[in-house]
Amino acid sequence: MTRQRAAVSEALDRLDDFRSAQQIHDVMRQGGDTIGLATVYRTLQALADHGDVDVLRTEDGESHYRRCERDEHHHHLVCRGCGRTIEIDGPTVESWANTVGAAHGFTGIEHTIELFGTCADCAAAAAARAGD
């Protein structure tokens, strides 16, 4: 464990939503940390491999990282407006994925499931903006 890895881990604890490696690097620099961008990339990937952070591929192909509350397998409901993220588990979809995979003779099924929408706050803000 190095000073830099500990710093990335702490930064992730402070941040709530999914952030790109570059955003995390910026935040750390702003907070006084001395760390290189390459190290942030490497550390985040290592954390992701170990399952310590979750990765979300954004619509434009960037990888965003987030330390999640629960360690168990789960999915995400992300607000398109503010990025607020809610952790979701769906026992039904888990078994559905395996069942439908097996039905077609596939083994070693993995799945990618993410939900996107507009949260109540952002919807209210949009309505206020339209109504003034």
Which pair of structure tokens corresponds to residue 12? 């992730």
Size of the site for Zn ion (CB under 5 A): 7
Rounded to whole angstroms, how far apart are CA atoms 90 and 27? 33
Closest approach, Cβ 65 to DNA, in A, equals 9
Chain position carrying tokens 């990618």: 112
Which pair of structure tokens corresponds to residue 131? 């109504």
Closest approach, Cβ 5 to Zn ion, in A, equals 28
Q: Coil, strand, or helix at residue 85?
A: strand
Range 58-117, binding DNA (CB under 7 A):
61-63
Q: Which one of a second copy, Zn ion, DNA, none interacts with residue 106, CB within 5 to 8 A by kind?
A: a second copy
DSSP state of 69: S
From residue 96 to residue 115, the character string flagging contacts with a second copy as x (rule: CB under 8 A) and all else as - is xx--xx--xxxxxxxxxxxx
3 binds DNA (CB under 7 A): yes
Rounded to whole angstroms, how far apart are CA atoms 122 and 41? 31
User: Which parts of this chain interact with DNA (CB under 7 A)?
Assistant: 1-5, 20-22, 34-39, 41-43, 45, 61-63
